[in-house]
Structure 1
Amino acid sequence: MLDEPGTGRPADYATGGLVHLNGNSLGPPRRTLAAELTRVVDEQWAHRQVRAWFQDGWLDLPRVVGDKLARLLGAAPGQVVIAGETTSTVLFNAMVAACRLRADRPVLLVEAESFPTDLYIAASVARLLDRELVVETRDGFDHHLAHRGEDVAVAVASPVDFRTGERRDIGETTALCHSVGAVSVWDLSHAAGVLPTDLDANGVDLAVGCGYKYLGGGPGAPAFLYVAERLQSTVDFPLTGWHGHADPFAMSGEFTAADGIDRARTGTPPLLSLVALDHALDPLLEAGIDALRARARELGELFVELVERDVPGAVLASPRDPDRRGGHVALRIAGADKVERALAERGVLVDARPPDLLRVAFAPLCTTRDDVRRAVAVLHDVIGGDADPASDAGRGVR
């Protein structure tokens, strides 16, 4: 469970004395992670070598960790797997498989505000499958589905805008997709671990996400894939590795898909990364997604209130209504990249996105109200109150 609201649990995380407000890019590790990795290496890998795949449950870990993560995502067991690949690869697999479910429809629809990788992958899939790629603004996305949705095979969206933090309602958009017969694919990378997604209740078809942001699985942590149970017997993935085979150790020359979510697996899983992700999930599950969301919302509100009061040089780029924001707040500040570097020199970690956005994220378990207050005080000092933050004459910016 979470401690008293506002106190956080920073002692459980290796923050290095820094204020980590960039958990939407990379969450800090638990202090006990090194010991857990050492245990696996010394007691399992070194001691049993290849036998550990069978004796220590390594082969089952992608599904075991997937079922743990499913509890945070609002999914029943057997629908989430850690596919053992990067987010880009898993997203490609999901998009192609979704298009194959609607082979008679020509359009692949994606939001213009999507993370760049989503746009790149969508363009590649459209070329590969000879589909028409339609890229629409946030409002245009909904309009296209409502008025031209009969041609849409797949609609790709995110519940959180990676720049501004603005939320998109998963249930409403998925229902709109289904009303016109389109398949929904969601990128949950900026939502998993900080927002309820309720995948089953919202009728989501497929979803992907990375393990290294709010989930805290570490640099390059493997991605996860959700496939609704109702689709698992018919979904056809383009990447068909031996771990997705019905009988992987038969070494058959022809691919026969495994039953259920295991068919989404590809090659040998990155075991140590899986262990790190598994280790990171435990305190998140102990707290529960509703408490995590409430904490992130509380911290975000405190940050916004203090910025509006104390930092007149910053303009809120996120929605002012906290219910319309995800786990991070974006500020519009000229020279945001310089401000980011100046904050880092003073022990406050945020990140900048061009042309002028400063993103500040609130990982619920390792951020306190005092962290937020310190960050705002340093931000005020860095941009010099009314001084122009883009100028090197702005106090503290260099």
Structure 2
Amino acid sequence: MQRDHSRGGEGRDGLIGLFWFSLLRIDRERAVLRWAEEKPQELRLEEIGETYGRYRLHVPELERGMMRSLESYGQLSPIVVFLHEGRWELLDGFKRLGAARKLQSMERLVARRIEADERAAKAAIYGLNRAGGRTREIEEAWIVHALVREDGLTQVEVAELLGRHKSWVCRRLALIEKLGPEARAELQVGLLTPTAARQLVRLPAGNQAGILELVRREGLSTNELTGIVDLWVECPARVQQQYILQHPREALAQEKGVDLPSHDPRLSSAGNRIFEQLGGLLRQLSRMEVWLAHQGRTGITPEDRRILQPRFERLSRDAASVAALSADMAMECENDGRIDTQRNHSHVLQPSLASPDREDARCRP
């Protein structure tokens, strides 16, 4: 079944595509990419080349859906081709062509021709699909990479050609040149989202496989991946990175701190006071733990270390005392609040804790 295509086709191949192409500049002489004057024509399937199919994803499920559509309704809109070295090359309609080749009832497709060179042809692939609202970032990246590395355009020229900002071009180029092969393969088949891929390209290529495996193993969300990459970039030491790989969510929690409520309606006034103090103390401990684990050995100068040493020594002593007392308190709470008032804590009580307002002179910088 064939339809009348003399009026320029339907949907994205119609007015939207014509309007977009009327504005697209393809070279420094400001030549305009345009449709050929002639009406759509029928082409035998074997006449149509698929050289430019390397810039499109092949999705078998969509091709099978196109087969059903062609069987039920025929070809509703023409494919788009251009004449290259004496052969018709397909620019838009790869699913239609693939589906038609699997149907014995179809030997020809109706096609419209655009006048273009190789650069403009690649831009046309992007433009026709953008007009239909169905571009994928990996396909855009393939086109950008080809225009820059094969055709020798600068990123600014590619941005002008495609009607996008230079930063957009730079991000697409990074998906090809900075994304590791394993991540690129997963992006191509849809297992990795473009947003996640953009996070991975912030990492050296040698680290991407490990983080990608972490994402799969732990089922990390895109937001969690972003946090992990942030931590990784800030923590160059191997021991810190190993901790992130082994305990990703714990590392993220330490980075963000513990956001505890400041009031519990079940507690008395005295209970809520200590509840609030514990919350503030835990938040401070969490921040200090993150700093010590991820920045402490690289973030300060030797002179800083000399001055801060007495305070870290006091922190170590006092933290040990508080840890021992807290363990006792937790045990007493577990025993339904039956507190043994005769218990002697003198073995853990430090003078500095007994007099919290008095600072040990040795700790002063």
Report the TM range for the smaller structure's normalisation. under 0.3
Which structure has greater helix proportion? 2
Give the TM-score of the pair, scaled to structure 1: 0.23
Q: Larger C-alpha radius of gyration, 1 or 2?
A: 2
TM-score by length of 2: 0.25
- Answer 1 or 2: which has greater strand percent: 1
- Relative contact order: is structure 1 or structure 2 higher (C-alpha 8 Å, sep ≥ 6)? 1
